[in-house]
Amino acid sequence: MFKKLRSDPKYGYVILVMLCLGIALPDFGQFQVSSLADKLRAAMDLSQSEYSTIATAPLLAGILFGFLAGVLMDRFGIRVVTASIVLTSVGLVMRVPLGSFAVLYISGILIGTAATFINTTAPKIIGAWFPREKTTQFMGVVLAVANLSMALGTGTAALFSGVSAAFRFSAVLAAAVLLIWCLFITEKRGQDAGASEAVPIPESIRAVGKNGGVWLVSLFCIGSVAAIGSVSVFMPQALMSRGMTDVQAGWYSMAVTLGNAVTNFVSPAIIRRFGTSKKRLGCMVCLYSLGEAVFVALGWRASGLLLPLALFLSGFCAMGFLAFYQTIPLYLRGVGSRYSGTATGLIITVQLAASVVLPSYVIAPIAGDDYRLIFLLLGAIPLIPVVLSPFLPVKDMFPEKAR
């Protein structure tokens, strides 16, 4: 039955659902922790520093494994993504007994592996199953599901009787997702089998490392993501400094995540409709990036109904081009589907490293507890794509008839 099903021309949509399930699982499990902060600290007698280390452990997986995930995907195919789902499932099960700090920290890193591998490999997998005009759209769907699962993880964790109950639920969810993944996931065969060809690791690293377009895309992704990722860290504290309770600040901060999710559904279609030339794309990059700069720098200071709207728009503008950026390597000369896994891995590693280094080691030491200065400095990061927009490497992105 499965063999016949996999030969169906529309089986790509099953693969898309698998990618959505695979990325929803770690993001849901990770963001349960942020909602259970007080209960987890009390249950395990954690300091603020220890809690912060556990909460951010999944991000470390992205920095450690992002590039490796792409290289392994080009060499071994989708089997490496299956292995990452297994590791994430192990991590979600490991944390249920609420063992030591070290166990929770290791489980956090394991939980982040599936999100890292799918973020890195999804453009290549989608590109093998769908025509190029749909790659950005469907990559946007995967990223939107990731953001929605973050919101669900945050919003539902408090409904459980305690930390262990919440963690048990995600462990059972992991078992179900792993089973479904193993039953339905497969490589693309036949006409596009070349996209799955095993590529020697040194060859892929050399090809990507010397490609200027890949490094350019990395800078565009830094401009898009580094600021908004830090907003989620600083926003609740900034809003509480204005007199809000922690609950109010948490609800308002969710508007940023909602903006992230909505834009990944909407913006790929807008880009496809209006941006099929380098000049138009450059203008749209500037529009989104300037919008992000303004709403990140000033949005948190808005009042009344303007506050959630400004926070929503900051997330909307920030993530609007991310799916597009991540699919560019598929069409770069010298990269293509052969090396796109390695290219996306490099891009994500650089992007995540900047997302950690800029707020933690540049902005925070400069601004201290001055939230006005913090957000002004964060708002400067999206100006990177504005400056680089004339050099957007999209020459071969669209078919000639679409230009």
Please indicate, yes or no, if residue 192 is contained in any of the structural domains: no
Task: Show which of 138, 165, 186 is a domain's final residue.
Answer: 186
Q: What is the pLDDT of residue 312?
A: 93
Lowest average pLDDT, out of 28-32, 118-122, 253-257, goes to 253-257
pLDDT value at residue 196:
53
Quick one: 170 and 137 in the same domain? yes
Count of helices and strands (H, E) across the chain: 18, 0
Question: Who's near 87: CB < 8 A, 6+ residues apart?
Answer: 110, 113, 114
User: Which candidate, 254, 261, 181, places its Cα nearest to that of 31?
Assistant: 254
Angle formed at CA 48 by CA 99 and CA 354, multiple of 5 degrees: 100
Domain with 173, as residue range(s), is: 1-186
Q: Given 3-state DSSP classes, what are the helix, strand and coil percentages for the chain, each rounded to the nearest 5?
A: 85, 0, 15
Residues, the chain: 403
- Distance separating alpha carbons of residues 240 and 255, to the nearest angstrom: 16
The more confident residue out of 49 and 68 is 68
Report the CATH number at residue 7.
1.20.1250.20
Closest CA to 277 of 173, 157, 395: 395
pLDDT, mean of residues 250-265: 83
Q: Are residues 177 and 251 in the same domain?
A: no
From the list 88, 79, 139, the residue with the least C-alpha distance to 319 is: 139
Rounded (5°) CA angle 332-337-339: 80
Distances (CA, A) of 74 to 84, 140, 205, 216, 345: 15, 22, 10, 21, 10
- In which band, very low, low, confident or very high, does the pLDDT at 399 lie, cut at 50, 70 and 90? low
Chain centroid to CA 172: how far? Answer: 24
Strands (E) in 91-163, as ranges, are none
Distances in Å between the alpha carbon of 102 and those of 2, 46, 94, 107? 41, 12, 11, 8
Structure tokens at 24: 């929803």
d(CA 241, CA 77): 49
Cβ contacts of 107 within 8 Å, gap of 6 or more = 57, 90, 91, 92, 94, 95
Tokens at residue 283, please?
Answer: 């203008």
Same domain, 111 and 235: no
Q: Which of 139-153, 156-170, 198-212, 241-255 has the lowest mean pLDDT?
A: 241-255
Q: Is 31 in the same domain as 171?
A: yes
Q: In which band, very low, low, confident or very high, does the pLDDT at 402 lie, cut at 50, 70 and 90? A: very low
Question: What pLDDT, on a 0 to 100 scale, did the predictor assign at position 182?
Answer: 92
9 and 43 within one domain: yes
pLDDT value for 64 = 85
Highest mean pLDDT among 76-85, 239-248, 327-336: 76-85
Q: Quick one: average pLDDT of 357-367? A: 79
Residue 193 in any domain: the answer is no
Tell whether 235 and 280 lie within a shared domain: yes
Mean pLDDT of 317-331: 88
Query: 147 and 209, same structural domain?
Result: no
Q: How far apart are CA 307 and CA 381, in angstroms?
A: 21
Task: Tell me: do 333 and 247 sit in the same domain.
Answer: yes
Of 403 and 240, more confident: 240
- Give the pLDDT confidence of 266-313 residue by residue, as tens digits: 888 888 888 778 888 999 999 999 999 999 999 889 988 899 999 999
- Distance between CA 215 and CA 17 in Å, rounded? 30
Give mean pLDDT, residues 323-339: 85
Same-domain status, 268 and 393: yes
Is residue 194 scored above 70 in pLDDT? no
Domain assignment of residue 49, yes or no: yes
